[in-house]
Amino acid sequence: MSEDDRRVVVDGVSKLYDRDDGGVQALEDVEFAVDDGEFVCVVGPSGCGKTTLFRIIGGLESATSGQVRLSGAPVTEPSPDLGIVFQEYHLFPWRTVRGNVAFGLEQQAIDAEAREERVDAMLDLVGLEAFDEAYPTELSGGMKQRVGIARALAVDPEILLMDEPFGSVDAQTRSMLHEELLSVWEETGKTVLFVTHDVDEAVTLADRIVVMGAGPGHVQEIVDVDLDRPRDRTDGAFAENVEYVRGLISE
């Protein structure tokens, strides 16, 4: 397979933030690739450049050198191939759940009936059918993030890009959202790129884990998670994977 057949290629990406105090080298020569349909987690300590990398892949920030390619095409701006789910929910407070999920579809030339059908299907996928007329302030954190996922998927992107999406929900809700996300992934065959600082979360979700180190942000190692799904956190092999990745991070 040639490099450009791969869904996402991060090719020698470096990022220097210019600042009055001299600047911050956030990323140095970050390199990895993701195949179609893969679930890849990027994990690393706070400040190692995960959000910076996420923003560069999403076309929201430019690299100082190197580039990101999606199916061979260099990223220069936000692409419709990419559905983005942020750490903070970024929902429109003046729109209902339905209105939020419909947002991306309204930018496209499809008729209202097809749009509503699509919104219904997405609400069904994330279990929010009964909340379609609710406003974001009426929802729990977990529900808001489900809306974020439904909105990102509504336009049928090839890739779902997520930055610590479940960071602000309690542990029980988070583990429900993990199950839901995995079932959406299995159902839709999307490529998922998921950023987290939580090693447990990465081992729960990923086919492969890109482990980053700080100072400046770089790829430390790429770890295959060779565990059957659904995964059992109480399993010895699960704990071994977690321990191995934690060891890499604290090196």
Total of residues contacting ligand ADP (CB under 6 A): 12
Segment contacting ligand ADP (CB under 6 A): 16-24, 68-76, 113-121, 230-238? Answer: 16-24
- Minimum distance from residue 12 beta carbon to ligand ADP (Å): 17
CA dihedral of residues 180, 181, 186, 187 (deg, nearest 10): 70
**Integer Cα distance of 34 and 240 in angstroms:** 24
- Closest by CA position to 76, among listed 86, 90, 64, 61: 61
- Closest by CA position to 143, among listed 18, 151, 80: 151
3-state per-residue secondary structure call for 174-197: HHHHHHHHHHHHHHHCCEEEEEEC
Report if residue 84 touches ligand ADP, rule: CB under 6 A. Answer: no
Q: Which of ligand ADP, Mg ion, none does residue 49 bind to, with CB < 5 to 8 Å depending on kind?
A: ligand ADP
Report if residue 172 touches ligand ADP, rule: CB under 6 A. Answer: no
Report if residue 17 touches ligand ADP, rule: CB under 6 A. Answer: yes
Contacts (CB under 6 A) with ligand ADP, residues 31-50: 44, 46-50
H or E element at residue 247:
helix 236-249
Give the residue with the Cβ less far from ligand ADP, 49 or 104: 49
Strand extents, DSSP E, 71-226: 73-74, 82-85, 159-163, 191-196, 208-213, 218-224
Cβ contact 176:214 at 8 Å: no
Contacts (CB under 5 A) with Mg ion, residues 23-82: 50-51
Total of residues contacting Mg ion (CB under 5 A): 2
DSSP string covering 29-62 = EEEEEE-TT-EEEEE--TTSSHHHHHHHHTTSS-
- Minimum distance from residue 209 beta carbon to ligand ADP (Å): 15
Give the residue with the Cβ less far from ligand ADP, 72 or 215: 215
Sign of CA pseudo-dihedral 97, 165, 207, 228: negative
Cβ contact 63:14 at 8 Å: yes
Give the residue with the Cβ less far from ligand ADP, 18 or 111: 18
Report if residue 51 touches ligand ADP, rule: CB under 6 A. Answer: yes
**Integer Cα distance of 54 and 57 in angstroms:** 5
Segment contacting ligand ADP (CB under 6 A): 17-25, 64-72, 101-109, 145-153? Answer: 17-25
Give the residue with the Cβ less far from ligand ADP, 77 or 226: 77
Q: Which of ligand ADP, Mg ion, none does residue 100 bind to, with CB < 5 to 8 Å depending on kind?
A: none
Report if residue 100 touches ligand ADP, rule: CB under 6 A. Answer: no
Report the interface residues with Mg ion, using CB under 5 A. Answer: 50-51
Residues near ligand ADP (CB under 6 A) are: 17, 19, 24, 26, 44, 46-52
